[in-house]
Structure 1
Amino acid sequence: MDIQALQSTLRDFAAARHWQPFHTPKNLSTALMVEAAELVEIFQWMTAEQSQTAQSDPGTKEKIADEVADVLLYLLQVADHCAIDIPSAVANKLVKNAVKHPVP
């Protein structure tokens, strides 16, 4: 996945619809949380075991995929608007996590 190309596509998509005034970090992060909540809603009343096999139903798998995509797309836009280099941020966070949670 080419993150920069996808971010460019998302910028062009928003510009074509004149959405730039609304695409602020605040609004995009709020929309991200709404989409994450929609992902949670799919699993809300499932048992842990049911959630592990939910993808075996094609309709449920499609709903999960749609919400995962929405979360990722909003996250990419937040990073873009905040000038966050995603690969560097991920690499740095993995190092921090390893220090914070060492192997016992």
Structure 2
Amino acid sequence: MTHIETLSQAVNQFRDERDWRQFHKEKDLAISISLEANELLELFQWKDSETVLANKQESLRDELADVLIYALMLADNLDFDLEEIIMAKLEKNRQKYPIEKAKGSAKKYTELSE
């Protein structure tokens, strides 16, 4: 069993022990991912990264965990293999951002010169 499968199983067990799957429809999970990502972002609002990293480690861990937990549940609901979809997306990004054009650049793929 992979680490991702172990994590997914633990998340599902926690959810199922509380009979919460009924509340975790795909739309609701997508909304929850966005809300938790915004809570993560809020930690940085009006502060520089160094201050947040030095003083908010527990909050950063908690909010990032919330995002990932909801993402694991959504992937499970959709019967997506996380390793497969991540590797496929990395391959798409390799095509859009070839090293020789993208290395050291923050430009979007549509802005990279030919």
TM-score, normalization by structure 1: 0.87
- 1:37-48, aligned counterparts within 5 Å? 37-46=38-47
1:71 is matched with which residue: 67, 73, 84?
Answer: 67
Larger radius of gyration between Structure 1 and Structure 2 = 2
Q: How many residues align?
A: 99
Ranges in structure 2 where 5+ consecutive residues have no aligned partner:
102-114
1:92 is matched with which residue: 82, 88, 103?
Answer: 88
Deviations 1:1-43 (A, max 9, x none): 7111221121111111111111111111111111001001001
Identity of aligned residues (%): 37
Higher helix share: 1
Q: Whose RCO is larger (CA < 8 A, sep 6+)?
A: 1
Match of 1:102 in 2: 98
Cα distance in 1 for partners of 2:51, 2:38 equals 20
Match of 1:82 in 2: 78
Cα distance in 2 for partners of 1:65, 1:9 equals 17
> Aligned-residue CA RMSD in angstroms?
1.4
Ranges in structure 1 where 5+ consecutive residues have no aligned partner:
none
Cα distance in 1 for partners of 2:90, 2:51 equals 29
